[in-house]
């Protein structure tokens, strides 16, 4: 299956508020971890499915404008939902770049994401020039 280049687009109005509220509640109970994107994706997938949505787990690359992270996230209504990485926090993105090339460890990555709110994570829209490209994981392909 060919990789999909995802566009930064807001979530549809019909799901945005409810999904953001439910994810915000989940994040306040137990913050989404930058060190465990699989678990974050599973948690979001469960919440989205409870709302009647059909999320798809996508595996691919997050291009940090020159540094690429092998990553996974969700496709919800054709939009990227990635609550593991607070990409709207420039200092986190800087540490993520360092982590990819081995100049930061997991503790530093987790610390850089620690105080990030849900609003600083990717819910459809992501900051330019960052790019997501990937394909559904094998179990999600039809």
pLDDT in tens, 69-123: 999 999 999 999 999 999 999 999 999 999 999 999 999 999 999 999 999 999 9
pLDDT value for 80: 98
6-51 per-position pLDDT tens digit = 999 999 999 999 999 999 999 999 999 999 999 999 999 999 999 9
CA–chain centroid gap for 102, Å, is 21
- Integer Cα distance of 76 and 35 in angstroms: 22
- Where do the structural domains in the chain lie, given as residue ranges? 4-136
Q: Please provide residue 64's backbone torsions phi and psi, each rounded to the nearest 5 degrees.
A: -95, 35
pLDDT value of residue 140: 57
Residues 6+ apart with CB under 8 A from 142: none
pLDDT for 142 beyond 50? no
pLDDT band at 139 (very low <50, low <70, confident <90, very high): low
Residue 99: its pLDDT value, please? 98
Rg of the chain's alpha carbons, rounded to an integer? 14
Q: What is the pLDDT confidence band of residue 136, given thresholds at 50, 70 and 90?
A: very high
What is the reported pLDDT for 138?
Answer: 73
Q: Over 80: is that where the pLDDT of 141 sits?
A: no
Q: For residue 125, what are the β-bridge partners?
A: 123
pLDDT of residue 2: 87
Enter the pTM of the model. Answer: 0.94
């Amino acid at each position: 299956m060919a990789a999909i280049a995802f566009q930064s687009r807001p979530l549809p109005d019909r799901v945005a508020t409810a999904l953001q509220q439910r994810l915000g509640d989940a994040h306040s109970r137990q913050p989404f971890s930058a060190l465990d994107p699989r678990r974050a994706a599973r948690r979001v997938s469960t919440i989205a499915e409870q709302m009647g949505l059909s999320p798809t787990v996508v595996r691919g690359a997050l291009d940090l404008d020159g540094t690429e992270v092998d990553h996974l996230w969700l496709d919800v209504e054709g939009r990227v939902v990635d609550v593991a990485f607070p990409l709207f926090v420039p200092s986190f993105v800087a540490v993520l770049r360092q982590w990819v090339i081995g100049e930061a460890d997991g503790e530093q990555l987790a610390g850089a994401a620690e105080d990030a709110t849900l609003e600083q994570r990717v819910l459809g829209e992501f900051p330019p020039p960052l790019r997501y490209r990937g394909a559904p994981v094998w179990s999600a392909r039809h």
